[in-house]
Amino acid sequence: MDFALSEELSMVRDMSRDFAENHLMPLATQHDREAKIDASVFPAMAELGLWGLTVPESYGGAGMSNLAMCLVLEEINRACASTGVTLSVHASLVCAPINKWGTEAQKQAWLPKLASGEVLGAYSLSEAVSGSDAAALVATGTRDGNDWVLNGTKLWVTTGEQAGLFVVYVRTDPTVSKAKGITAFLLPRDTPGFQVGKKEKKTGIRGSSTNELVLNNVRLGPESVLGEVGRGFNIAMDTLDGGRIGIASQAVGIGRACLEAATKYAKEREQFGQAIANFQAVQWKLADMSTHLDAARFLVHNAAWLRDTGQEVGRMASQAKLMASKTANFCADECLQIHGGAGYTDDFHVERLFRDARITEIYEGATDVQRIVIARHLLRS
């Protein structure tokens, strides 16, 4: 078993690290305070090919692996989690399902634009009545001749303000069990009747927009159906396996930023005539943070490798998400504790890391949902 990265993967990681340190880190606090990502960021990511990293070369992307995206996401999120979640959603929740489930016409129409960054993607499954119980959604899609007419309100849509294409899930058959009556649609932003609604004010990842979507007699042709009619829930669950690996990578990046900040501060801060790094209590905190992070990273990379090799990944994706998100919050808590009162102010960026880490245990399936998924896999065998 070889844990070493290939030369290609090392280059991608180093490129992302250089971009994150030199471009994103100086802007991360600004993103948080202004609740928007600086206009220079997305074009710079396009120049580096990050939007299309996992899109096949035949559609304008780099054709790289999920593991490559994990490496990139760790570096990006180490610097700015708002930028990181934007990239994760675009790649894992939009590009990936179109590449796997889309028709050739859909791939030709959308993947080149998504890969270049000309169009950003967003994913819309949740509603007011359907969070963890995703199949309980009530937004509808009704046949009208060959067309579909969509109505309802969707919530918690990442990149809602900037996205040009939305993968939207609605109920198209109320007569069958709730999971079997859902269909996925590709919804362009400029479709009549479609509106991006209010922007949520969030505790963390404030630079990333989170919006409601309003569907008011939105008419789509049959070419807008992603996959098969009535099979949308299967697409959503398969897609979320990849999304969980992406958010787990985000969590590792945030946790790593916490460890680095805590280590630096421990060496500089003096109490009782010496650096607090000399105190065993602080050393144990750093040791635990490092150990948890390495364990989480191995789980994330293993899940990505399984997905890259076409193996069943549901349990491992949930284990990676569970471990990494809890680790991010553990590291954020310990980091703030090491900083003491100073860490509780915005003079240090650790309070932002503390706020950003919290969402990783909520979106792409809350912590308890991951435990349910893992247990079901175990009990099924």
CB pairs under 8 A, 24+ apart, for 57-64?
59/99, 59/107, 59/108, 59/111, 59/112, 59/115, 60/111, 60/112, 60/115, 60/116, 61/95, 61/111, 61/115, 64/8, 64/12
Q: What are the backbone dihedrals phi and psi of residue 73, each rounded to the nearest 5 degrees, phi first?
A: -65, -35
Of 230, 261, 294, which one is at a domain's C-terminal end? Answer: 230
All residues at 6 or more sequence positions from 370 whose CB lies less than 8 Å from its CB, including other chains: 244, 318, 319, 321, 322
pLDDT in tens, 78-93: 999 999 999 999 999 9
All residues at 6 or more sequence positions from 30 whose CB lies less than 8 Å from its CB, including other chains: 38
Is the domain of 145 the same as that of 115? no
* Whether 364 is catalytic: yes
Report pLDDT for 90. Answer: 98
Is the domain of 343 the same as that of 251? yes
| CATH code (residue 70) | 1.10.540.10
How many residues make up the chain in this entry? 381
Cα separation of 318 and 365, whole Å?
A: 9
| CATH code (residue 305) | 1.20.140.10
Is the domain of 99 the same as that of 176? no
Is the domain of 243 the same as that of 306? yes
Is the domain of 168 the same as that of 56? no
Is the domain of 103 the same as that of 241? no
Q: Is the pLDDT of residue 381 over 90?
A: no
Report pLDDT for 157. Answer: 98
Q: Is the pLDDT of residue 72 over 90?
A: yes
Which of 334, 351, 361, 364 is the catalytic position? 364
Q: Is residue 1 part of a domain?
A: no
Of 120, 140, 158, which one is at a domain's C-terminal end? Answer: 120
Measured between alpha carbons, how far is residue 231 from residues 92, 137, 227, 319, 347 in Å? 19, 14, 7, 26, 50
Is the domain of 82 the same as that of 177? no
pLDDT in tens, 115-163: 999 999 999 999 999 989 999 999 999 999 999 999 999 999 999 999 9
Mean pLDDT in residue range 329-352: 97
Is the domain of 298 the same as that of 360? yes
Mean pLDDT in residue range 203-228: 98
Report pLDDT for 212. Answer: 98
Q: In the numeric block, which tokens belong to residue 345?
A: 């102010």
Is the domain of 132 the same as that of 187? yes
Of 120, 138, 171, which one is at a domain's C-terminal end? Answer: 120
Q: Is residue 2 part of a domain?
A: no
Q: Is residue 82 part of a domain?
A: yes
Is the domain of 182 the same as that of 115? no
Check: CB of residue 152 under 8 Å from CB of residue 187: no
Mean pLDDT in residue range 86-115: 98
Report pLDDT for 15. Answer: 98
Q: Is residue 325 part of a domain?
A: yes
At residue 2 the predicted structure's pLDDT band, cuts being 50, 70 and 90, is confident
Is the domain of 162 the same as that of 298? no
Cα separation of 319 and 352, whole Å?
A: 26
Check: CB of residue 303 under 8 Å from CB of residue 316: yes
Q: Is residue 176 part of a domain?
A: yes
Mean pLDDT in residue range 15-29: 98
Q: What is the pTM of this model?
A: 0.97
At residue 257 the predicted structure's pLDDT band, cuts being 50, 70 and 90, is very high
Cα separation of 98 and 357, whole Å?
A: 29
Q: Which domain holds residue 322?
A: 234-380
Report pLDDT for 177. Answer: 87
pLDDT in tens, 264-313: 999 999 999 999 999 999 999 999 999 999 999 999 999 999 999 999 99
Q: In the numeric block, which tokens belong to residue 266?
A: 């421990």
Task: Tell me the average pLDDT of the chain.
Answer: 97
Is the domain of 309 the same as that of 349? yes
Report pLDDT for 202. Answer: 98
Q: Is the pLDDT of residue 114 over 80?
A: yes
Q: Is residue 144 part of a domain?
A: yes
Report pLDDT for 348. Answer: 94
Question: CA nearest 337: which of 266, 238, 237?
Answer: 266
Strands (E), the chain: 121-124, 140-144, 147-158, 165-171, 182-188, 194-199, 210-220, 225-226, 270-271, 274-275
Place of tokens 């949740």: 126
Q: Is residue 326 part of a domain?
A: yes
Question: CA nearest 360: which of 373, 351, 370?
Answer: 370
| CATH code (residue 214) | 2.40.110.10
Q: Is residue 177 part of a domain?
A: yes
Report pLDDT for 3. Answer: 87
Q: How many domains does the chain have?
A: 3
